[in-house]
Amino acid sequence: MSVALIRPLVVRTVAVSDPDDLLARLPDAAPYAWIRHGEGLVGWGEAARAAVPAGPGRFDWARGWLSSLFAGALIEDEVGVPGSGPVAFGSFTFDGHAPGTVLVVPRVVLARRDGRAWLTTIGDSAFDLFSPPREPGRIRYADGSLTAAQWEHRVARAVRRIKDGMLDKVVLARDLTAVAERDIDPRVLLDRLAERYPECYTFSVDGLVGATPELLVRHTGQAVESLVLAGTTARGGGPADDAARGAALYASEKDRHEHAYAVASVREALAPLCSTLNVPDEPELLVLPNVQHLASRVTGRLSDGASVLDVVAAMHPTAAVGGTPTGAAIGVIRELEGMDRGGYAGPVGWIDSRGDGEWGIALRCAYVSGRRARLFAGCGIMAESDPAAELAEAQAKLRVMRYALEG
């Protein structure tokens, strides 16, 4: 465990004129971001940082550290909305026993939402010098932990486990490595992702950059919301093919079962925390530039003063990124994936001093460091899964970050 901070934090939030493009304001420094449809938060610098210790109590530890930090802060907030005042960005590893979970409170946060914009600074925050984003140049790719053929073989082994009755579903991920001519500027990736995937949540936290379609939880006061995605097909070659693929996905018994498992896991996690909970009877189709998903939006009202991290702790890992039942699925993942996911498929997002925040599941993402990037994609494996089809689905999902790198 390591902690770095400035005590006490002296925080000032003021209303500012509309910055228009938040990402264009990021300086040449490690960026923090959470953007959808041009709204959200960006930040830079570090006023405080914690490497959260791994283990079953990591969410409690994180909440305790933040509560202590924010309680001791001197806060002047003239805006008073979710995301104003001090904000921490965070990335939790998928596997609770793996190290790598981090919380960072940026020195500067710029935000816009619902026609309002504000700037939060901590201490005597000097604004970093801006330089234009730099293109990474030519990209070379290589297999990650497993080759495509090896991964298909692992999928086949997972299918056998499911048919043998060990579990109902497991999500298997694969990685791909990329090396660029020049250092990869995360701002380039963020710009491309936000422009091409506006329906997704474009994020950047401590080198993990991506655009996730899956909202784990939005916490505003007592209201909570979650967008459940499970069941995927690639986009078609034209309108007719696209519509046919969407209809086939919606009618697919395999994908509907996969989606039902994911919705049930969210319902079971949220029900003990909520006084009211609304779960759709049927999913909808969410159409993105590269894929279509079965989607269900779950909403509720908390019955006590739980923070967004309490809700995240109750929900992670959902069946959409782990499997069903959870314990058996995690065991199969550890046995068959052959890699450490790090923050891939873990919670990523932000929390403010009131306990409000937004957290997604870190999908369609990559770890970026210098000239290198490690890309991730995963697929829900069921008894009916075909390894070749699952590989094709993973390749379609990897195209998101390949586009971000290549343009």
Catalytic residues: 169, 214
20: nearest Cα among 107, 85, 115, 89: 115
Task: Give me 134's structure tokens.
Answer: 């730099």
Task: Give me 168's structure tokens.
Answer: 């109902």
Instruction: Tell me how far apart the alpha carbons of residues 213 and 231 are, in angstroms, rounded to a whole number.
Output: 13
Residue with tokens 């995360």: 186
The helix-helix angle for 253-270 and 239-251 (nearest 10°) equals 60
341: nearest Cα among 175, 152, 214, 153: 175
Classify the C-alpha dihedral 58-61-63-66 as positive or negative. Answer: negative
3-state secondary structure the chain: CEEEECCCCEEEEEECCCCCCCHHHCCCCCCEEEEECCEEEEEECCCEEEECCCCCCHHHHHHHHHHHHHHCCEEEECCCCCCCCCEEEEECCCCCCCCCCEEEECCEEEEEECCEEEEEEECCCCCCCCCCCCCCCCEEEEECCCCHHHHHHHHHHHHHHHHCCCCCEEEEEEEEEEEECCCCCHHHHHHHHHHHCCCCEEEEECCEEEEECCEEEEEECCEEEEEEEEEEEECCCCHHHHHHHHHHHHHCHHHHHHHHHHHHHHHHHHHHHEEEEECCCCCEEEECCCEEEEEEEEEEEECCCCCHHHHHHHHCCCCCCCEECHHHHHHHHHHHCCCCCCCCCCEEEEEECCCCEEEEECCCEEEEECCEEEEEEEEEECCCCCHHHHHHHHHHHHHHHHHHHHC
